[in-house]
A and B are shown apart, each in its own frame.
Chain A
Amino acid sequence: MSVTVPGTQSGSPGPAVASARRPRFAWKLSYREALTGWLFASPWIIGFVLFTAWPMLFSLYASFTRYNIVQDPQWIGLQNYQQIIDDPRFYKALENTFWMVLYKTPIVMSVALGIAMLLNMNLPGDRIFRTLIYFPSVLAGVASIYLWQWILSPNGLLNSGLDVIGINGPAWFTDPAWTKPGLIVMGMWFIGNNVLIYLASLKGIPETLYEAAEIDGANAWRKTWHITLPMISPAIFFQIVTSIIGTFQIFTTAYIISGTRSNIGGPRQSMLFYVLYLYNRAFGRVGPHGLQMGYASALAWILFAIILTITLFQLAMSKRWVYYETS
């Protein structure tokens, strides 16, 4: 933020020159400049108050009420939370969601890093490989969910491929034990984003570090462990945090795959994920009476508390393993 207007322009008086003479980062602002700043930011400020801040407060309040939109909310204290504690489907949803977080995150992270490392070897044709690996991740949406449901059907493409190498493939989305692994297989098609973030991070490691290590006689394994991983640890950390937040909110995939069937969450509720359950509570497809906005709001705040706790824990732990260059 350097001000480069030379001070010799004394010929033109007015606010422009005044601002040019002002020292850096001085907060003695002209009223006008402050007003402009606020005005320019006002779309976000209005949007934030209307569509984020106020909704959050309202949803916290609603979580202590019985509320079906038609009638006014009725204060019931902690009853929703007490009911949730005794709700077997809440635990099922929690269990399924945690399963996905625990298995999907490390698998996605390590496969994406492996592919990024291969793409970083300056192999011939790596740009084409990069494009082809990335393009499925722009195709997310209902269409690609149907595609994978088709590929993972019991006699589908994947199982016939497994057949060729002598493996008897499972029934995937119709077998309760294999629905979630099926979702992970499907999720691998969309890791292009993660691959590219790792690749950008890998390309940012200065070559001199490796050269120095080679002089010290380090082999490939030691170079990976002592240089590559510490240098890309900020990218790993960022991706673990965002991937966990995203996985906690799986909805569309499970909704489409188990959607038109009468049982919510697929075979033996094995795909009853947290947000899918919350949606069905709110919009009245599960439970005793109509739209249960209060109960669903309580569910939402519990999820928020879980995500916040995990994210803050990760932030605290990150000081031990994430290496930030001080430049």
Chain B
Amino acid sequence: MATTQALTRRWQLSGWQRFRFWRVVAWLTLFAITALFVIPVLWMVSTSLKSPSDLANTNWIPQTLEWRNYRDAFSFGQWGRWTLNSLIITSVSTAGAVLSTALVGYSFGRLRWPGRDILFGVVLATMMIPDVVVMIPRFIIFSRMPAYGLQGSSVWVNTFLPLTVPSWLGATGFEIFLMRQFMRNIPIELSEAAKIDGASELRIWWSIALPLSRPVLATVAIFKFQGAWQDFMGPLLYLQDESKYTLQLALRQFEFAAGGAPAWNQLMAASLVVMLPVLVIFLIFQRYFVQGINITGLAGR
């Protein structure tokens, strides 16, 4: 009854009032949706501070704040080692991806050479190739390539090489695409002027193009960092010794240790710590994420 009255009243509102009414409804909807996105992380924090007996309850505030979960979670295994492994793989592949795609992107975007447009078409086509098609042959190649005892392995498998070297060789088509789109739009006057001063192309790239491309370098670096940090399939395929694991593989130790359902409070504590670097980078460089996505969206045109 009350709702019918409210409804009839609503249709008597003036145009401006109706506009206001719908905006309030929209805001409340948006607020509720946003809450749904935030709640899981809050639940993660809450769970990570609960005692084992408190886990079955759905109270938000833990009965007792068990900070020791954070200590206990990292009390077994080689977490220091695993963190170091993740840092090495992530930083080496990020540096490689940024440098090599910046070089290749400059070539596709700024230099004129025969075959360029055909090859750029190939770059775009590689974005459509599912990774699984090359997964097996790559594994076979890496299980044959000699590593000469690096990390105690005679072949590339069971070293960090399969997870880092490909990034130094042009990474993925998407990253090259981002670089090329950006570099195309750097004002050309600068490089023509530099050429007259006798600078080599490599020098122009390094001292003119790169500084001007900082936003896209940051975007590629962030995407690559995020992708490498969170990669699961790569380490799963190529890293066999426990001492070479990355953090993503290490998180599974909770399940193995328990032989079934893991200790959720410790697992959530460890998961939060593993997520933290990406979260911090996101908060600092948020606009580069957004910018990268906007360029991605333009790929549709």
Bound together, the chains give a CA A220 to CA B196 distance in angstroms of 58
Return the contact of A51 from the options B34, B130, B138 (Cβ within 8 A): B138
Instruction: Name the CB-closest residue of B to A292.
Output: B136
Chain A residues proximal to chain B, CB less than 8 Å: 1-5, 9, 12, 16-17, 19-20, 27, 29, 33-38, 40-41, 43-48, 50-52, 54-56, 58-59, 62, 69, 115, 118-119, 121, 123-126, 129, 131-136, 138-144, 146-148, 150-151, 155, 157, 160, 189, 192-193, 196-197, 200-201, 234-235, 237-239, 245, 248-249, 251-252, 255-256, 259-260, 275, 278-279, 282-283, 293, 296-297, 300-301, 303-304, 307-308, 311, 324
Bound together, the chains give a CA A278 to CA B192 distance in angstroms of 52
Q: Which residues in chain B, 28-84, are within 8 Å of chain A measured between CB atoms?
A: 29-31, 33-34, 37-41, 43-44, 47, 56, 58
- From known contacts A155-B56, A238-B297, A260-B255, infer whether A138 and B103 are also in contact, taking CB-CB under 8 Å: no
Bound together, the chains give a CA A16 to CA B195 distance in angstroms of 6
Q: Which residues in chain B, 171-198, are within 8 Å of chain A measured between CB atoms?
A: 171, 176, 188-189, 192-193, 195-196, 198
Bound together, the chains give a CA A9 to CA B112 distance in angstroms of 23
- From known contacts A196-B293, A238-B300, A304-B129, infer whether A19 and B195 are also in contact, taking CB-CB under 8 Å: yes
Which of chain B's residues have a CB closer than 8 A to the CB of A155? 56
Which of chain B's residues have a CB closer than 8 A to the CB of A192? 37
Bound together, the chains give a CA A69 to CA B102 distance in angstroms of 36
Bound together, the chains give a CA A1 to CA B187 distance in angstroms of 9
Tell me the number of A-to-B contacts counted with CB atoms below 8 Å.
283
**Are B126 and A48 interface neighbours, CB within 8 A?**
yes
**Are B107 and A141 interface neighbours, CB within 8 A?**
no
Return the contact of A133 from the options B27, B33, B131, B134 (Cβ within 8 A): B33
**Are B56 and A139 interface neighbours, CB within 8 A?**
no
Max chain B Cβ within 10 angstroms of own Cβ: one of A19, A150, A278, A311: A150
**Are A141 and B196 interface neighbours, CB within 8 A?**
no
Return the contact of B33 from the options A43, A59, A115 (Cβ within 8 A): A115
Q: Which of B3-11, B146-154, B272-280 contacts A (4 or more CB under 8 A)?
A: B272-280
Chain B residues proximal to chain A, CB less than 8 Å: 23, 26-27, 29-31, 33-34, 37-41, 43-44, 47, 56, 58, 100-101, 103-104, 106-108, 111-116, 119, 122-123, 126, 128-141, 143, 166, 168-171, 176, 188-189, 192-193, 195-196, 198, 201, 205, 226, 229-230, 232-233, 236-237, 248-249, 251-252, 255-256, 260, 262, 264, 267-268, 270-272, 274-275, 278-279, 282, 286, 289-290, 293-294, 296-297, 299-301
Q: What are 12 pairs between A and B in contact, CB < 8 Å?
A: A40-B111, A40-B201, A121-B23, A141-B230, A141-B274, A142-B248, A189-B37, A189-B40, A193-B293, A297-B137, A303-B132, A311-B128
- From known contacts A4-B192, A48-B170, A69-B143, infer whether A239 and B271 are also in contact, taking CB-CB under 8 Å: no
Q: How far is the CB of B86 from chain A (nearest CB, A)?
A: 11
**Are B113 and A300 interface neighbours, CB within 8 A?**
no
- From known contacts A151-B40, A260-B252, A308-B128, infer whether A129 and B30 are also in contact, taking CB-CB under 8 Å: yes
**Are B103 and A150 interface neighbours, CB within 8 A?**
no
Known pairs A56-B134, A133-B34, A189-B40 / 5 extra A-B pairs, C-beta < 8 Å: A16-B195, A29-B114, A44-B100, A59-B137, A142-B232
**Are A307 and B130 interface neighbours, CB within 8 A?**
yes
Instruction: Name the CB-closest residue of B to A59.
Output: B137
Which of chain A's residues have a CB closer than 8 A to the CB of B112? 27, 29, 33-34, 37
Bound together, the chains give a CA A305 to CA B168 distance in angstroms of 29
**Are B136 and A62 interface neighbours, CB within 8 A?**
yes
Q: Main SS of the interface on chain A? A: helix
Return the contact of A55 from the options B134, B143, B279, B293 (Cβ within 8 A): B134
**Are A139 and B278 interface neighbours, CB within 8 A?**
yes
Bound together, the chains give a CA A123 to CA B189 distance in angstroms of 42
Q: How far is the CB of A159 from chain B (nearest CB, A)?
A: 9
Instruction: Name the CB-closest residue of B to A325.
Output: B301
Nearest 6 pairs between A and B by C-beta? Answer: A37-B113, A238-B300, A47-B169, A44-B170, A40-B107, A141-B230
- From known contacts A62-B137, A129-B34, A141-B274, infer whether A44 and B132 are also in contact, taking CB-CB under 8 Å: no
Q: How far is the CB of A261 from chain B (nearest CB, A)?
A: 9
**Are B282 and A138 interface neighbours, CB within 8 A?**
yes
Which of chain B's residues have a CB closer than 8 A to the CB of A133? 33-34, 37
Bound together, the chains give a CA A309 to CA B292 distance in angstroms of 29
Bound together, the chains give a CA A123 to CA B23 distance in angstroms of 7
**Are A148 and B40 interface neighbours, CB within 8 A?**
yes
Which of chain B's residues have a CB closer than 8 A to the CB of A324? 301
**Are B232 and A252 interface neighbours, CB within 8 A?**
yes
Which of chain B's residues have a CB closer than 8 A to the CB of A245? 128, 130
Bound together, the chains give a CA A324 to CA B290 distance in angstroms of 23
Bound together, the chains give a CA A255 to CA B103 distance in angstroms of 37
Which of chain B's residues have a CB closer than 8 A to the CB of A9? 196
**Are A69 and B30 interface neighbours, CB within 8 A?**
no
Instruction: Name the CB-closest residue of B to A147.
Output: B44
Return the contact of B205 from the options A40, A54, A134, A146 (Cβ within 8 A): A40
Max chain B Cβ within 10 angstroms of own Cβ: one of A19, A146, A311: A146
Instruction: Name the CB-closest residue of A to B270.
Output: A143
Return the contact of B192 from the options A20, A47, A58, A62 (Cβ within 8 A): A20
**Are B136 and A59 interface neighbours, CB within 8 A?**
yes
Bound together, the chains give a CA A43 to CA B107 distance in angstroms of 11
Q: How far is the CB of B98 from chain A (nearest CB, A)?
A: 12
- From known contacts A55-B138, A121-B26, A142-B252, infer whether A41 and B129 are also in contact, taking CB-CB under 8 Å: no
Which of chain A's residues have a CB closer than 8 A to the CB of B134? 51-52, 55-56, 59
Max chain A Cβ within 10 angstroms of own Cβ: one of B58, B131, B136, B256: B136
**Are A239 and B300 interface neighbours, CB within 8 A?**
yes
**Are A157 and B58 interface neighbours, CB within 8 A?**
yes
Bound together, the chains give a CA A132 to CA B296 distance in angstroms of 20
